Copies of this chain bind each other. A is one copy, B any other.
Amino acid sequence: MATEDTAQKAQDLLKDLRRSIDNFDAILIHTLAERFRCTKAVGEMKAEHDLPPADPEREKRQVARLRQLARDADLDPDFAEKFLAFVIREVIRHHEAIAAGEQVNEWR
């Protein structure tokens, strides 16, 4: 049946797209893990040298750069900016915990 064929094709395509989405999610999780390893090192260095956890000038440059990268990749730059803010909030939470001498990975 033509209609069944179409429905089956749609199901197959959906499955295929979701497999790609799952792969992209694995890339995102691993890249975020590696990014946090870097920011953890930054946080330890900042705590050691008594530097403030947040750095507004650096963040301004990061926002401008990510917005441009997003535009070039056809991604909504407002979303890219919200995404960076979301990640940086978590990083600052870690840095404050490091400065306070807490163990960050309490979940382990």
Contact = CB atoms under 8 A, between A and B. Distances in A.
Interface of A: 7, 10, 13-14, 17-18, 20-22, 24-39, 41-42, 45, 48-49, 58, 62, 65-66, 69-70, 73-80, 83-84, 86, 90, 105, 107
A21 B38 CA distance: 7
B21 A39 contact: yes
A3 to B, nearest CB: 11
A84 B80 CA distance: 15
A33 B83 contact: no
The complex is assembled from copies of this chain, and their number is: 2
A75 B33 contact: yes
Given A18-B38, A18-B58, A28-B32, 16 more contacts: A10-B48, A10-B49, A14-B45, A17-B38, A17-B41, A20-B38, A21-B38, A22-B65, A25-B66, A25-B84, A28-B35, A29-B80, A30-B69, A32-B83, A76-B107, A78-B107
24 contacts: A7-B49, A10-B45, A13-B45, A14-B45, A17-B38, A17-B41, A18-B42, A18-B58, A20-B34, A21-B38, A21-B39, A24-B31, A24-B32, A25-B35, A25-B66, A29-B66, A29-B70, A29-B75, A32-B79, A32-B80, A32-B83, A37-B74, A76-B107, A77-B107
